[in-house]
């Protein structure tokens, strides 16, 4: 019986991947070649010819190698972004929203209202704001432990507020088009106030907490580029 793992490795490697993952791919391919060989033998093909037919099933081993490398590279990058950006960003965003909701219940202490021109009032949940540096620190530390670079740490820390700010801008732009009863100056005052109170200030507080974890290299593993 041919050593299918040795034959597959000789034609497929080097893959420039992690050794354990490379062994897994070679073993999987070897099993496929062995099954193909067994089918050919059962059909009456001589063993030597069946071996050559099985090995020639992939028409281009170099192309197969490139396809495997590309697929593995994409998977590594996706896993990296999931661990270094999406998990810390979404998790701390949920924590932030839960805390905000907690401070909005009727029995909670009243928020501070900052009155602006045209009678526009900006509601400030200052207790929630006090928690934001801690939330930013947790997100940045989590991203750093997962191998996140500076950009991933910044985005993970400010994930919640960036999304909220984009939503505010979208609503403001829609309002300018749909509702013509409110003057542009009043809308701008209101939008500026909300942008400051719910966008800029919270984002700065999140980044303030993240600051200690923005310095230095990543503590975990980063995606490794593979050669093609």
pLDDT in tens, 198-222: 888 899 999 999 999 998 766 655 5
> What domain range is 140 assigned to?
80-213
The answer to whether the beta carbons of residues 157 and 136 sit under 8 Å apart is yes
Q: Helix 47-55 and helix 19-42: axis angle, to 10°?
A: 140
Beta bridge partners of 122: 114
Block residue for tokens 């719910």: 198
Shared domain for 24 and 87, answered yes or no, is no
Shared domain for 51 and 85, answered yes or no, is no
pLDDT in tens, 2-49: 787 787 777 776 776 667 777 778 788 888 888 888 888 888 888 888
Q: Is residue 72 part of a domain?
A: no
Q: Is residue 71 part of a domain?
A: no
The answer to whether the beta carbons of residues 172 and 191 sit under 8 Å apart is yes
Q: Is residue 67 part of a domain?
A: no
Shared domain for 110 and 186, answered yes or no, is yes
Shared domain for 117 and 151, answered yes or no, is yes
Q: Is residue 177 part of a domain?
A: yes
Block residue for tokens 């300018």: 176
pLDDT in tens, 185-197: 656 767 777 788 8
Which of 28, 58, 88 is a domain's end point?
A: 58
Q: What's the structural domain count of the chain? A: 2
Question: Angle CA(143)–CA(162)–CA(113) in degrees, nearest 5?
Answer: 120
- Tell me what the mean pLDDT of segment 65-73 comes to: 74
């Amino acid at each position: 019986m041919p050593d299918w793992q040795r034959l597959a490795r000789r034609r497929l490697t080097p893959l420039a991947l992690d050794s354990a993952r490379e062994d897994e791919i070679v073993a999987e391919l070897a099993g496929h070649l062995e099954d193909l060989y067994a089918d050919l033998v059962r059909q009456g093909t001589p063993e030597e010819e069946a071996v050559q037919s099985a090995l020639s099933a992939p028409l281009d081993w170099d192309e197969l190698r490139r396809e495997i490398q590309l697929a593995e590279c994409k998977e590594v990058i996706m896993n990296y972004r999931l661990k270094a950006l999406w998990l810390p960003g979404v998790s701390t965003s949920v924590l932030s929203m839960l805390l905000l909701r907690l401070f909005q219940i009727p029995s909670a202490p009243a928020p501070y209202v900052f009155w602006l021109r045209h009678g526009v009032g900006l509601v400030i949940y200052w207790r929630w704001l006090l928690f934001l540096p801690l939330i930013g620190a947790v997100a940045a530390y989590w991203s750093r432990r997962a191998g996140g670079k500076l950009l991933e740490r910044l985005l993970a820390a400010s994930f919640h507020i960036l999304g909220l700010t984009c939503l505010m801008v979208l609503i403001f732009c829609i309002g300018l088009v749909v509702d013509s009863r409110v003057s542009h100056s009043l809308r701008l005052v209101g939008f500026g106030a909300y942008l400051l109170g719910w966008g800029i200030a919270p984002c700065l507080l999140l980044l303030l907490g993240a600051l200690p974890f923005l310095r230095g290299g990543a503590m975990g593993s980063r995606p490794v580029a593979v050669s093609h």
